[in-house]
Structure 1
Amino acid sequence: MTNFQLISDNLKEEKIEFEILWIGQSELFYKGIESTLIDKYWQFLLLNDGSLTKQLQLLKNKKIKRKLLEESPINFTTSFISYLTQPIKIPIIQRNIFLYSNEVEPLIYATSWWSENTINSFFLDKEQPIWSNLAQLKIEFYRDLRKILLINSKSLEKQFNKKGPFWSRYYLIWYNNFPITIIFEIFSPIIKV
């Protein structure tokens, strides 16, 4: 079972089921993706290693807000725990959120996994998105993009109030040569409007 399959299976347990239509591997991230598959706008958002929160604020000309859906210790399969604990120390906290520019339609659905021992070190204000917190800390970090995916999800079509497919990605964030979190993000098509 691949690492991404473990993440996918975990999200199904969270009632975010999806069908993978296309997967881009890391070798594409440096040379770009064919414009017949993905336009430059989406490439910029998905491949950019800057602050997604800041990019969304610029695109929407509004402050980006976070809605916490759930934050709890994980209780998953042995194989998923095994995958997460390679980069992230146990015990592990899972956070599920939406990012909004208004209170109506979410722009992003994201799930992240953090070590319980370090999560509070990186969240000065849990009401703010991750990138806002990291910026407040004035720390250098590295986003290690692992995969870009095109997916269909009936459950997210309802949440986003838009038909799929949806672009998504998953990556690790590194700080001082240590991974601090794994993040999986799914983008609403409304971002481009």
Structure 2
Amino acid sequence: MLWEAPTAAVLAGEEPGWLPGPWRLMLLGDGSPTRHLRLLTSHPVAVRVSAMEADTALHGAPREVRELSYPLLRRQVWLECGDITLAWAESWWNQTEAEQHLQDRNLPIWISLTQGRSELFREVDGLALVTAPWLEQGFGEPGPFWSRHYRFFRQGKELTVIREVFSPALERWLGEAPRRPLHAAS
């Protein structure tokens, strides 16, 4: 991780001040990123699952994952619109909740969770600039990349923790975003 916003600032909706408006909405908004990707590109979002397995190590997981009931399942996917890979995402679930809500593992989570029109609350907990060779390979572009993580709650109970990393290819629709740390890590 190259830079991370203070959690309290993210929870309060205090963005760093140097993110352009469209990127602020994408990274800190409480709307569905898969819906935003569809609206931006006019292409349906295809989910390419790269892993879905039990997770006991929690190496590198956001601290909020520890609030989920064990045993945990971790799902990792690439999100594609047309022929462009626009995001990588991973989510952590209680295994029973995952079986209930992820019956079609190739659907975006937002579609799986809202099929019954039940109420959800999304809380964005983290914002960061990250880099990794496997992300560069997956996006076909050099990093760093904007990342965020958030939780879904249903009836006041934490349902899942999701981390997303966005491709710089989104600049085609959202405009240029700074991709270097401008403040010290917290």
TM-score band, normalised by shorter chain: 0.7 to 0.9
Aligned positions of 1:94-173 closer than 5 A: 94-102=74-82, 104-173=83-152
Does the 8 Å contact 1:113/1:182 carry over to 2? yes
Report the CA distance shift for 1:151/1:90 in structure 2 as closer, same or farther (over 3 A): same
Which residue of structure 2 lines up, in the alignment, with residue 20 of structure 1?
A: 2
Q: How far off is 1:164 after superposition?
A: 1.4
Runs (5+) with no aligned partner, structure 1: 1-18
Structure showing greater relative contact order (alpha-carbon pairs closer than 8 Å, 6 or more residues apart): 2
Letter in 2 for 1:49: D
Please give the TM-score of this superposition, normalised by the length of structure 2: 0.82
Match of 1:186 among 131, 148, 165: 165
Letter in 2 for 1:23: A
Equivalent runs, 1:83-98 vs 2, <5 Å: 84=65, 86-98=66-78
State the alpha-carbon separation in 2 of the partners of residues 156 and 101 from structure 1. 17
Q: Which TM-score applies when normalising by structure 1?
A: 0.79
The CA distance in 2 between the partners of 1:105 and 1:25, in whole Å, is 31
* Cα distance, 1:112 vs structure 2: 0.7
Matched, 1:67 2:48: yes
Shift of 1:134: 1.6
CA drift of 1:91 comes to 1.1
Q: SS of the counterpart of 1:27?
A: helix
Q: Does the CA contact (< 8 Å) of 2:89 and 2:163 recur in 1?
A: yes
Q: Is the contact between residue 172 and residue 179 of structure 1 (CA under 8 Å) also seen in structure 2?
A: yes
What CA RMSD, in Å, does the superposition of the two structures yield over aligned residues? 2.3
Secondary structure class of the residue paired with 1:118: helix
Aligned to 2:30: 49
Consecutive unaligned residues in structure 2, runs of 5 or more = 173-186
8 Å CA contact 1:105–1:161 kept in 2: the answer is no
Following the alignment from structure 1 to structure 2, what is the Cα–Cα distance between the partners of residues 78 and 189?
26
